[in-house]
């Protein structure tokens, strides 16, 4: 069982493997390590969610701020993390027309201007049409609601990344 392999990892190796389950926030994996042993992937995810929910508001906003813009400058320059690249590619965000890209950029900028953090959406569960629609509707929410919604999306992204790592682990060990 691959979760057992995770339980055996040193702190450094654990953070090396799981450091990006939340985009550019290795502190989540670092915090979760203390909760070993885990009996399942769900257990790891619950520990990550518990840590995130226990953060003060500025900590949760900080997690959101660590996310690059969807279809943004880093994506265009090929400087996204490998996880974010894969996710944005699946959603079709890496081959938008110039017009679509301009629409998303404009809305991303308005969103960030209003809330002070970027629009975060689990793009593996949302195709590009849903990204535009999500931006257009969520921009009307309150900041408090958007911190909550953004963080719930972070948890979904985290779960899918975790499953990927554990599946890879299984392949590595047979």
**Min CB(16)–ligand GUN separation in Å:** 20
Per-residue exposure over 121-137, b if at least 16 CB sit within 10 Å of its own CB, e if not: bbbbebebeebbebbee
Contact between 147 and 118 (Cβ < 8 Å): no
Is 67 known to be catalytic? yes
CB under 6 A: which stretch of 8-16, 66-74, 141-149, 161-169 binds ligand GUN?
66-74
Number of residues interacting with ligand GUN: please give it, by CB under 6 A: 14
**Min CB(101)–ligand GUN separation in Å:** 15
Distance of CA 57 to the CA centre of its chain: 17
CB under 6 A: which stretch of 12-20, 48-56, 95-103, 116-124 binds ligand GUN?
116-124
Using the rule CB under 6 A, is 45 a contact of ligand GUN? no
Q: How far is 125 from 24, CA to CA, in rounded Å? A: 20
Burial of 85 (0-12, 13-18, 19+ CB in 10 A): middle
Instruction: List the catalytic residues.
Output: 67
Q: Which residues bind ligand GUN (CB under 6 A)?
A: 23, 67-70, 84, 87, 118-123, 157
């Amino acid at each position: 069982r691959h979760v057992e392999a995770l339980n055996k990892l040193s702190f450094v190796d654990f953070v090396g493997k799981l450091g990006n389950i939340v985009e550019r926030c290795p502190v989540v994996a670092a915090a979760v390590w203390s909760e070993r042993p885990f009996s399942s992937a769900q257990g790891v995810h619950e520990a990550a969610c518990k840590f995130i929910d226990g953060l003060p508001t500025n900590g949760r906003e900080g997690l959101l701020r660590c996310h690059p813009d969807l279809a943004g400058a880093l994506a265009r320059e090929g400087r996204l993390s490998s996880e974010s690249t894969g996710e944005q590619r699946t959603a079709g965000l890496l081959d938008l027309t110039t017009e679509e890209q301009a629409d998303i950029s404009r809305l991303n900028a308005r969103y960030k201007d209003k809330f002070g953090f970027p629009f975060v959406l689990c793009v593996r569960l949302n195709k590009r049409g849903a990204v535009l629609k999500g931006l257009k509707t969520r921009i009307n929410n309150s900041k408090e609601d958007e911190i909550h919604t953004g963080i719930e999306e972070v948890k979904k992204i985290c779960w899918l990344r975790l499953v990927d790592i554990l599946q890879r682990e299984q392949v590595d060990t047979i």
